[in-house]
Every structure is written in structure tokens, then in C-alpha cells.
Copies of this chain bind each other. A is one copy, B any other.
Amino acid sequence: MNPDITRERENATFNVEKLTHILDGGIEKTKRRREIESLVISDPDFQSEDLNFLSRSERYNAAAKKSAQMILKLREYGISDPEEIYCYKSCVHRGRSEPLDLHLGMFLPTLLNQASPEQVETFFIPAWNLEIIGTYAQTEMGHGTHLRGLETTATYDPATQEFVMNSPTITSIKWWPGGLGKTSNHAIVLAQLHTQGKCHGLHAFIVPLRSMNTHIPLPGVVVGDIGPKFGFDEVDNGYLKLENVRIPRDNMLMKYAKVEADGTYVKPPSAKLTYGTMVFIRSMIVGEAAHALAKSCTIAIRYSSVRHQSEIRPGEPEPQIMDYQTQQYKLFPLLATAYAYKFVGHYMNQVYHRITGDISQGDFSELPELHALSAGLKAFTTWTASAGIEVCRMACGGHGYSRCSALPDIYVNFVATCTYEGENTVMMLQTARFLIKSYRQASAGHQLSGIVSYLNESECRLQPQTVSSRPTVVNINDLASLVEAYKLRAAKLVELAAKSIQQELQKRVSQEDAWNNSAIDLVRASDAHCHYVVVKLFAAKLGEIGDTGVHSVLSTLALLYALQGIQQHSGDFLQTGLLSGPQLSQVSQRLKELLAQLRPNAVALVDAFDYRDEMLNSVLGRYDGNVYEHMFEWARRSPLNKTEVHESYHKYLKPLQAKL
């Protein structure tokens, strides 16, 4: 054990294990998670060479091998609770995506939710036994978030009682679905349904892609891998071009909408049902943001405690780089953010489960608000976490740039969340739509409920002119007062966006153009709303914590999170009169004090995330802090070192010397 990191742990002022239990949701959950982790980590079938040393084809191959093993073992061990399956799977693939992700996460659930009872019988058991391996093919080369724009067609032919599936243009080729390129033999394909000469919009169809015997693509099916990406090297994201592929009528998912034998179309009862899944996936992504940032902070903070560099005082030994104020200023607010997002993730998960109960009883009332909030929080947390991972990486200096740090890998795999499941700017504008609607209702005197009810409060709708005349009430040392300030800021920015739309409308532009011409303000309003929610939830979480030591350190983190946000958006707080110039100087001063206060607990706070070395897979983030010897050992295993002299020497350099 590196003595620097031992000393850090000795200086901690709280019980790390207790904080871990809070993060896991209870002592029992910590215990069970650790059991599952040990099960995987000690399993000889799940050992493999460092993925960084493999080609893409080898990485896909290794992932397919692990996925197959994983399915067998989950059944062998009888692990069936969704949370435990998720934990086991994350552990097997070290948090990476894998070829069967869409089979397990989209194909099977979609069958359960949208197939008729007969279809479940036909398809579910073969899919459960992986005879049918499926994916979910929605996105097309030319069409992403805007579902109505999708071009793939399914035309019903009553003569044969079949649908004829086609990709009529190059832009209609299905593009991106995970597992589509090489792994799947079926796909649920989203296509425009045409029957009896009319188009009835998007519906889902089960399309066989490859032979169940040979795995060779079926006639009319052009399928393959879309090529290398920024990350996701283990996944065969694919393309699919359908050329007059005929499927039986029974392959349209018919729980809700139907096409009868003669081609008569029967409408589905309601469209709101798909909201739930979207909320669930987005709340999972918020959890992933917490996770990615927590891992990055663990690596950067542990490394900062063992890395010595430069000098603060001349003649003295090089200090730990964590002693530099600038280093603390990079890392500690991100650590606070990781904690904040952990608690936001918990909250969203709880709310989702509560509301799912309501929905099953026919009560949809809270769904629009949760849907809007989940969209914004997905964007808010993924943007911040992505940028934060890179800050952590660069805070590790040159070694952060090596793949041995694991940080490049965390970044490229996580940053995709900014784009998938709803591009972030589009998400922010969805939240804004709900905020503006709520603002207008409040202005019209309606009483709002839920988290947007602050738009009702009269002090939130003061005129900008009157701001300077009222006393500033924010107490920068009081978290509750800061939550209030964030709330007022959000209210102001929602109002500003609403007014921008109003002003545009006065120029006689259309509603739609007024919206687009105010989009910058709308995104800003959503961002402020989400920021308020995060600060509020972090503050609320503190109320649940009994242990004094843990409560104290988390309070410091929460205050740091809130004050740093104010400093970063100081223009908003000044412009809306919520803070004065001198108060802002106090915020800067207070931030520095908080950094110094957190310094002794930094390593303990990342230890509490409880990532085992096997899960982090980072030479810089090792628990024992013995970084350098392992970096050397890792480098020597690099493929370029398999021979002392690389073939290119004999092929190019040696002949060159002769020619010059």
C-alpha cells in the first residue's frame, strides 16, 4: 500500500462503510452487490486480456463470449431480480455495452408489452432461449429523434396475408441498432404501416433477418456492421436494408393496433403508454451519469493523492498534486456533482416506481411532469458528467491520456448518452415546453402541483425593474437559502423565455417560429430548472442522514455543489438581483474554504463509491496507490512489444537508410 494513500485514509473524519450503505440504499444491498461482484470477479470464465490490446473484431468476439457465458450463469445461479441481473451484467462487462444489450433490454420487453398473447407464445420462449436473438430497429440513416420522419414501409398484401417490408430510399436504411450488425437473427422493425391504400403511421414488426440454422442473411435482407465508432467497440451497431421482405401478418405486434386478415386497420386505444419506458430509460441514464463521474473522480482523486509534482515551497519535496488549489477546484466540485447525481438517480427511480403503480391503476396525472423532468435531467446530467470526465482525465496529466488510466474509455462510452435516447438539446426543449405550458397556466391563475408549483409563487414573478429595490435575502452559508435562490433563478429564466416568445409573436411571426427564435432562452430556462431540482434533491437527502460524520461531510459537498453552480452562472444570479457583487466575492472566498475543508476527506469520499479495482480497471485509480510499477507492467504487455523489432523497421526504415 502506498503510504500517501494510507495517510489520506487515516485522516478521514467519517465512516466510509456507512456512506457506502447510503449510496447502495441499505446495508443489505451493499452486501448483495458485493456478493454478485465477487461471483463474477472470481469466475475464471470472465477473465480476459485487457481489451485495450485487442482489435475491434477481437473485442466483439470477447464480448459475445462473455454474454453467452453470462446468460448460462444467470440461469444457473437463478438470478432473476432485474436489479441483480443489471448488477451481474455490469460486472461481467465492466460497465460496457455488449452485443445482447438490445435483445435483453428492448426486444424481450417490447414483446412482453406490445405482443398479443398468441404472439408472446410464438416468440417469447424462443427469444428467452436465445434461438431468436433480436434487436430493436428504429433509427434510420436519415432520421433520428423525429419519429414521424421514418421512411421504412410495411405494406399489407391481403392476397398472401403478408406485410411487404421495404427500405425505399438510402436515408431509410436502419442505422445504429445495437446487435443488429452480426449478432441478431431477428429485429423488431419500426415501419410506416400501409394497408388498403392508406398510411397509418409507425408500427412495430418482427422481421427475421438471418437463417436460424446458418445465420446467413435471408433473401432481401442487407445487414451488416456500421463500422468503428468513438467507443462501443464491443457492440455491432448495424445497418439493415429491406428489399421486398415478406413477413406473415402475425408478425406485426398486435396487442394494441391490429391489421385484420382483409387489411382492415384497427386503431390502438392510447398513446401515452410508451411514456413510462422512456422515463425509465432516462432515469437509468441519470444513474449512469453519476456512475461514470464517480468512477472518474475515484481515479483522478486517488492518483492526485499519490502523484507528486512541482513545488509549492522552494526546497521542499514535490507535494501531492491534490495540494494544489487548482487541482482541488477541478476535482472536488465534480465529486460533489457525482454525489448529487447519485441522489437524483435514486429519487427518479423511486418516483418512477411509485408512478408506475399509479399508472397501472389508470392514474396518469403525474406522468407529464415526470416525463418532462426526466428529459431535462437526462440532458443536464449527461452534459455535465461528460465534460467532467474529461476534466478528471486531464487532471491526471499525461498519464490520463494513456488507455491504462481507463479514463479515455469511460469518456468515449459515456458521452454517447448525450446523443442517444433523445438528443440533449431536443430533451431540454421538451422540458421547456412543459415549463412554458405551466408558466402560462400559472399566469392564468391556475394552481400548479408538483415540482413546477414554484411558478405560482408571486415573488417569482417580480418585474426585473423592482429587483434592486428589494433586500437581498440569500444567505450563502445556508443550503435552504441557496435552494431558494436556485428556485428564483429558474422562475426568472422561465419568465424570460416566455417573454421572448411573446415578443416574437408581437413581430407577427408564427407560434412555431417564435418558439424557434426563443430556443436559446428556452434551453437556458430548462437548464436552470434542472439545476434547481438537483440542488433541492441534494439538500433533501441530507435530511435523511442520521450519522453525524457522514452528514457533516455530505453537507460540505452539498454546499460546495450549490456555491460552485452559483459561481459558474454568476451572471444569472447578478442579473436577476438574487445576489449582489460583494456576495459573489464572498461565494468565491467560501468556495476556497470548502475546498480546503474537503481535502482530508477526498480519498475517503471516493472510497465510499466502493469500486473494486477489477471494475475500475485503471492503473491510476488502484486502491493501493501503487501506480508506477503497474503502469510499467501494463505497457510491457502492449501488442507493439510482442517483438523487439517491429516489422516496419525491415520493410521501410532499413531500406530508406540505404537510399539516402
Contacts and interface: CB of A to CB of B under 8 A. Distances in A.
A145 B510 CA distance: 57
Contacts of A641: 181, 224-225
Contact of A654 (B144, B173, B215): B215
Contacts of A327: 425
A572 B407 CA distance: 33
Interface stretch (A112-120, A267-275, A395-403, A541-549): A395-403
Nearest to A520: B329
Nearest to A317: B149
A512 B61 contact: no
A571 B582 CA distance: 12
A406 B529 CA distance: 35
A27 interface: no
A451 to B, nearest CB: 24
A648 to B, nearest CB: 4
A381 interface: no
A229 interface: yes
Given A394-B418, A520-B592, A403 B229 contact: yes
Interface stretch (A16-24, A135-143, A254-262, A284-292): A135-143
A515 B323 CA distance: 13
A508 to B, nearest CB: 15
A475 to B, nearest CB: 19
A443 B628 CA distance: 47
A478 interface: no
A199 interface: no
A553 B404 CA distance: 46
Interface string A519-538: 11101000000000000000
A208 to B, nearest CB: 15
A314 B512 contact: yes
Interface stretch (A48-56, A88-96, A188-196): A48-56
A635 B227 contact: yes
B656 A71 contact: yes
A141 B628 contact: yes
Nearest to A619: B227
Contacts of A629: 170
A554 B496 CA distance: 31
Nearest to A660: B129
Nearest to A145: B310
Given A398-B420, A652-B68, A61 B646 contact: yes
Contacts of A175: 398
A77 interface: no
Interface in A614-637: 628-629, 631-632, 634-637
Contacts of A572: 570
A354 interface: no
Interface in A640-660: 640-641, 644-649, 651-657, 659-660
A61 B575 contact: no
Contacts of A591: 520
Given A329-B520, A517-B325, A520-B592, A309 B145 contact: yes
B402 A419 contact: no
A61 B647 contact: yes
Contacts of A312: 512-513, 515-516
Interface size bracket, A side: 35 or more
Contacts of A412: 408
Given A55-B55, A640-B57, A176 B398 contact: yes
A216 B650 CA distance: 12
A507 to B, nearest CB: 12
Contacts of A216: 644-645
A425 B573 CA distance: 27
A625 to B, nearest CB: 13
Contact of A397 (B72, B133, B144, B314): B144
Contact of A571 (B386, B510, B571): B571
Contacts of A71: 656, 660
Nearest to A581: B575
Nearest to A650: B215
A87 interface: no
B632 A170 contact: yes
Given A71-B656, A403-B229, A429 B632 contact: no
A649 B310 contact: no
A236 interface: yes
Contacts of A57: 639-640, 646
A61 B648 contact: yes
A131 B182 CA distance: 48
A32 interface: no
A308 interface: yes
B523 A326 contact: yes
A468 B330 CA distance: 33
B170 A402 contact: no
B646 A519 contact: no
A263 B633 CA distance: 37
Given A182-B640, A224-B635, A230-B402, 10 more contacts: A64-B651, A144-B309, A149-B309, A215-B654, A225-B640, A227-B403, A229-B401, A229-B408, A312-B512, A329-B520
11 contacts: A57-B640, A71-B660, A130-B656, A133-B653, A224-B636, A225-B640, A227-B638, A312-B516, A314-B512, A567-B571, A577-B581
